[in-house]
Amino acid sequence: MSVGFIMLVHQSLERAAQVSGHWAGHGCPVAIHVDKRVRREEFEALKAKLADFGNVRFSDRFACEWGRFSIVEATLAVSERLLADFPEVGHIYVASGSCLPLRPVEDLRRYLEARSETDFIESVTTDDVHWTVGGLDRERFTLRFPFSWKRQRYLFDKHVELQRRIGFSRAIPDGLEPHLGSQWWCLTRATLSAILEDPRRPDHDGYFRRVWIPDESYFQTLARRHSKRIESRSLTLSKFDYQGKPHIFYDDHLPLLRRSDGFVARKIWPQAEGLYSAFLKADNAARPEVEPMPQKIDRIFTKAVELRTRGRPGLYMQSRFPNHDHENGKSCAAYSVFQGFGDVFEDFQTWLQKRTGSRIHGHLFDKGRVRFAGDETIFNGALSDSAKLRDYSPRDFLTNLIWNTQGERQCFFFGPDDGQGIAAFLASDQNAHISVIAGAWAVPLFHSGMEFPRVRKIAARRQRIEAQFLDLLRQPHTRARVRVWSLADFVEDPGEILQSVMDEMMPVMQRRLTEVPKLVDMTGFGQFLQDLKNEGMRPYLVGDFPADGRNEMAPPDRKAPSLGVVK
Amino acid sequence: MGLWSAYRLRVRRRARLFRAFRRRRELAVVANRTGRIGKDDILLFSTLRDEHVRLPYFLEYYRELGVDHFLIVDNDSTDGGREYLAGQEDVSLWTTRASYKRARYGVDWLNWLQRRHGHGHWCLTVDPDEFFIYPFCDTRNLRALTDWLDISEIRSFGAMLLDMYPKGRIDAAAYQSGQNPLEIANWFDSGNYTILKNPQLRNLWIQGGPRARCFFPRNPAMAPALNKIPLVKWHRSFAYVSSTHALLPRGLNLVYDEWGGEKASGMLLHAKFLNTFPEKAREELRRRQHFAGSREYKAYGEHLQEDPRLWCQWSEKYINWRQLEILGLMSKGNWA
């Protein structure tokens, strides 16, 4: 027994001639259907090219429209032709004009001989498919589709909607359980003959004539009725993208196609000369025992579809500019924002840098200029320290920074003196880990030695801005990870709070903190707050900081004895 | 979109086409070989002035890529470039002494030629210092891309302008005719771009790169736009609105995905900053034929006079399209 090919052709006829000639030349009968819309001269040229082969036939021509029964009709006609003219054919393999055999014909022949009763046809019940175009799976079989999906999309959609609304449903003929699958099948003579000679074939044809995309369901459903043994997979490597269009192979896929060990691949770009000459060469070594491994190719196409539909999180660029809340990750990696920590610790930046090995910036949103780590004037990705450039689009500035430094955790300080344009974005970004010591801005004021009316004014402004920021962080739609302590709470146990911040930043770090940075001197701070109150300002964000000095911030070594604080 | 704004956009598009129609008289034929254009040919449109030194490599680059025919408007060149182009078998050439500025920086002229000769063709519109790259451009020619766009039913393809510059002074190395300018200008800024959306035409407005960083740090809104849509399956009703930044009908401007995915996109490597640039900037400043009172050239004049360097320690050296893909400047989308 041998294998015969059915070839459905509607374009690039030269390539179709080349491939069918290859098969015919290796002793495999080929029956060709050429779409009726192909010009007569082209058809005649194809015929002339294949005239020397005694085992090539041409069937009646139908005008095939995508998604319509005409494709099935053509396949049926060409199948009949092949079966009638070549009684020695044991398996019938459906191919298109843009298919390319990847392995010697001998491989396929012996592979099929060893599986002489097996039908290779992807055939999946409608409950199990997820790849259908337009979301129609079961409904392909129960609705009517008088309008063309390609040319009359509006009417198509409206008509489907109408039928759904009024609950229209066609009866599926008895004995048929709808199955779907790739149209590139390989059936045994017995199964295909049974389908063609089925006494109920007029019923079936009549029914499928009104099913949508019947080329993906006619044989897939009827094979279930007649087959002895189905292997539900296609021997042709063919992947579809998210629009239901087949992926195309080019010359640069050559190594990949070789490694796949598939028998046939589609679609091949007609000008992929490298592929055609490599795979149609006569001296490709036969290895009939090797199983096809389509997974290797599937992987790259799956990744491509994922890139097209999900994209790279946190990336904003010329061809990915997601609408609000469709970003699928507003920034590309986690980062930390510290508010107030720089005010209560001496040189917190250096300490954190040493402790974590992360990149610790100063106030990135400082109004004067961007305070990059190391006080650089320019940073990864050629980001400038110009405040104007940054403030032109603060979100782009930050997402660029995070994108440009992938693989290295970024941390920066934030505070009420910084530009607040980025605040809403920070609150909405789940990658932002924000730790706030509320009211800490009062500490540098306490140390500033400025005259009191001015201090009071600045304190009021900072408190107002910080309160707005905290409000933002408390909104129900905030996605950032936020932790807020009042200054009063913080000085109760700075070691523990710092520990929890570090734990979150570096969850894999097991060691407890053995040292905390030196706290600034807070002697007399309670009185300072009382003075503010006496002046009529209420520093409520600071928390309940006793004014009488009794519970005033003690020296740090007394506050966290277990940590062995280094002064 | 409401009926009213649809109508207004339509009026605007028709006005563009009418301008193009009126300005057709400004173009005098030097060599019309458009009769040789085949049914599926890929066409390249360009308008230029005094770029002779760049032309040999420019033509070579795009022929290699798969462009079949060049349609070029020469704006009164005096450096012999016109004669050179007229002698090329695959170039159709028009010339004009009319104002570049009044022809909307050449857009009117090209809109006319595109309407006349571009209908039904894939049309690439680039300047002589712009080099188009796209995913897989090292193994697949332009035809592979346009075939894929056809199959995917995509009519327009975006390619952001990427300013390239040399390490050190931009006038350190002398560019030789026929040389690949990217051998000299092979550095770029990888991650300092900002994006806004134009609500009316829906195109993105991208700024940044070395020009924003060096010339407009105090006035970023003035920095030049880098978003471009150079490759379009042309229909006679289409019109570019300003340079190749935006088109009408505005659906053509949706070269980006709005739901988190990435569409396929390319880049235009912009080899503007060579040793020829300071002279060009002086000349353009004198002619005042460029956008917004040639403010761009003014800014260049101020900055480049003192220290003509764009390179910084975080500049990235260009390797290939895959590098730009990984950096997130362009995307393969679902082309694999």
According to DSSP, the residues that pair with A378 across neighbouring strands are A384
Q: What is the pLDDT of residue A551?
A: 45
The tokens describing B91, both together, are 């170039």
CB contact under 8 A, B140 and A392: no
CB contact under 8 A, B332 and A304: yes
Chain B, residues 50-69, CB within 8 A of chain A, namely: none
- Euclidean distance between CA atoms B280 and A245, whole angstroms: 48
Any residues with CB less than 8 A from the CB of B87 and at least 6 apart, and which?
none
Query: For the packed helices A189-197 and A218-226, what is the interaxial angle rounded to 10 degrees?
Result: 100
The tokens describing A435, both together, are 């730790």
Q: Return the SS3 of A151.
A: coil
CA–CA min distance A272, chain B (Å):
9
Q: What is the pLDDT of residue A398?
A: 97
On the question of pLDDT at A556 being above 60, the answer is no
Q: Which of B140, B213, B258 sits opposite A252 (nearest CB)?
A: B140
Closest-CA residue of B relative to A383 is B192
Range in A17-21, A24-28, A276-280, B101-105 the model is least confident about:
B101-105
DSSP B200-237: TT--EEEEEHHHHHHH-TT-GGGSPP-----EEE--TT
- Which of these, A95, A73, A4, A96, lies nearest to A215 by C-alpha position? A73
B140 and chain A: CB distance < 8 Å anywhere? Answer: yes
Any residues with CB less than 8 A from the CB of A363 and at least 6 apart, and which?
A371, A412, A413, A414, A415, A417, A418
Using the structure block, give the residue that is written with the tokens 């193994």.
B139
On the question of pLDDT at A552 being above 50, the answer is no
Which chain B positions have a beta carbon within 8 Å of A403's beta carbon?
Answer: 191, 328
Which chain A positions have a beta carbon within 8 Å of B196's beta carbon?
Answer: 393
B39 and chain A: CB distance < 8 Å anywhere? Answer: no
CB contact under 8 A, B261 and A310: yes
Which chain A positions have a beta carbon within 8 Å of B265's beta carbon?
Answer: 317-319
Any residues with CB less than 8 A from the CB of B154 and at least 6 apart, and which?
B263
Binned at pLDDT 50, 70 and 90, residue A131 comes out as low
CA–CA min distance B108, chain A (Å):
25
Any residues with CB less than 8 A from the CB of B28 and at least 6 apart, and which?
B94, B95, B96
Question: What mean pLDDT do residues B3-7 have?
Answer: 88
- Euclidean distance between CA atoms A226 and B112, whole angstroms: 63
Which chain B positions have a beta carbon within 8 Å of A241's beta carbon?
Answer: 152, 334
- Tens-digit pLDDT profile for residues A152-163: 888 888 888 898
CA–CA min distance B30, chain A (Å):
35
Torsion region of A401: left, alpha or beta (phi above 0 gives left; psi -120 to 50 gives alpha): alpha
On the question of pLDDT at A559 being above 80, the answer is no
Which chain B positions have a beta carbon within 8 Å of A382's beta carbon?
Answer: 189-192, 210, 213, 312, 314-316
Site from B40, B227, B259 to mutate, A interface, most A CB atoms within 10 angstroms: B259
Binned at pLDDT 50, 70 and 90, residue A120 comes out as very high
CB contact under 8 A, A381 and B213: no
Q: Return the SS3 of A180.
A: strand
Q: What is the pLDDT of residue A555?
A: 45
On whether the CB atoms of residues A267 and A249 are closer than 8 A, the answer is yes
The number of beta carbons lying within 10 Å of the beta carbon of residue B190 is 25
Q: How far is CA A521 from CA A342, A343, A344, A346, A554, in A?
A: 13, 11, 9, 9, 9
CA–CA min distance A316, chain B (Å):
8
Higher-pLDDT residue of A204, A149: A204
Q: What is the pLDDT of residue B99?
A: 84
On the question of pLDDT at A509 being above 70, the answer is no
Residue A352: CA count within 13 A, CB half-sphere: 28
- Tens-digit pLDDT profile for residues B210-237: 999 998 988 999 999 999 999 999 999 9
Query: For the packed helices A189-197 and A201-208, what is the interaxial angle rounded to 10 degrees?
Result: 90
Which chain A positions have a beta carbon within 8 Å of B193's beta carbon?
Answer: 317, 396, 400
On whether the CB atoms of residues B332 and B139 are closer than 8 A, the answer is no
- Which of these, B159, B136, B138, B160, lies nearest to B148 by C-alpha position? B136
- Tens-digit pLDDT profile for residues A57-107: 999 999 988 888 999 999 999 999 999 999 999 999 999 999 999 999 999
Which chain A positions have a beta carbon within 8 Å of B313's beta carbon?
Answer: 378
CA–CA min distance A472, chain B (Å):
24
On the question of pLDDT at B244 being above 60, the answer is yes
Would you kindly state where each structural domain of chain A is located, as residue ranges? 117-180+189-234, 335-563
Closest-CA residue of B relative to A323 is B258
Peptide bond before residue A416 is cis, with ω within 30 degrees of 0 = no
Average pLDDT score, chain A: 88
Would you kindly state where each structural domain of chain B is located, as residue ranges? 3-326
CA–CA min distance B243, chain A (Å):
17
Q: What ipTM was assigned to the predicted interfaces of this complex? A: 0.94
Q: Which of B148, B220, B335 sits opposite A392 (nearest CB)?
A: B220
- Euclidean distance between CA atoms B223 and A202, whole angstroms: 70
Q: Return the SS3 of A339.
A: strand
Closest-CA residue of A relative to B316 is A381
On whether the CB atoms of residues B67 and B124 are closer than 8 A, the answer is yes
CB contact under 8 A, B260 and A310: yes
On whether the CB atoms of residues B203 and B246 are closer than 8 A, the answer is yes
Query: Quick one: three-class SS letters along A238-295?
Result: CCECCCCCECCECHHHHHHHHHHCCCEECCECCCCHHHHHHHCCCCCCCCCCCCCCCH
How many inter-chain contacts (A to B, CB under 8 Å) are there?
Answer: 177
- Tens-digit pLDDT profile for residues B17-74: 988 888 888 889 999 999 999 999 999 999 999 999 999 999 999 999 999 999 999 9
- A164: enclosing H helix or E strand: helix A153-166
Pairing of strands A378-379, A30-34: unpaired
DSSP B60-101: HHHHHHT--EEEEEE-S--SSHHHHHHT-TTEEEEE--S-TT
- Euclidean distance between CA atoms A311 and A319, whole angstroms: 10
Q: Would you give the DSSP letter of residue A118?
A: -
For the CA atoms of chain B, what is the radius of gyration? 19
- Euclidean distance between CA atoms B316 and B269, whole angstroms: 13
On whether the CB atoms of residues A349 and A413 are closer than 8 A, the answer is yes
- Euclidean distance between CA atoms A274 and A159, whole angstroms: 46
On whether the CB atoms of residues B81 and B48 are closer than 8 A, the answer is yes
On the question of pLDDT at A357 being above 90, the answer is no
Question: What mean pLDDT do residues B168-184 have?
Answer: 92
Range in A134-148, B42-56, B118-132 the model is least confident about:
A134-148
- Euclidean distance between CA atoms B141 and B145, whole angstroms: 7
Which chain B positions have a beta carbon within 8 Å of A323's beta carbon?
Answer: 258-259
% residues pLDDT > 70 (chain B): 98
Using the structure block, give the residue that is written with the tokens 């025992």.
A289
Average pLDDT score, chain B: 92
Pairing of strands B266-270, B159-163: parallel
- Which of these, A408, A396, A398, lies nearest to A432 by C-alpha position? A398
On whether the CB atoms of residues B114 and B234 are closer than 8 A, the answer is yes
The number of beta carbons lying within 10 Å of the beta carbon of residue A222 is 26
Torsion region of A329: left, alpha or beta (phi above 0 gives left; psi -120 to 50 gives alpha): left
Q: What is the pLDDT of residue A563?
A: 36
B202 and chain A: CB distance < 8 Å anywhere? Answer: no
Q: Return the SS3 of A548.
A: coil
- Which of these, B311, B200, B320, lies nearest to B266 by C-alpha position? B320
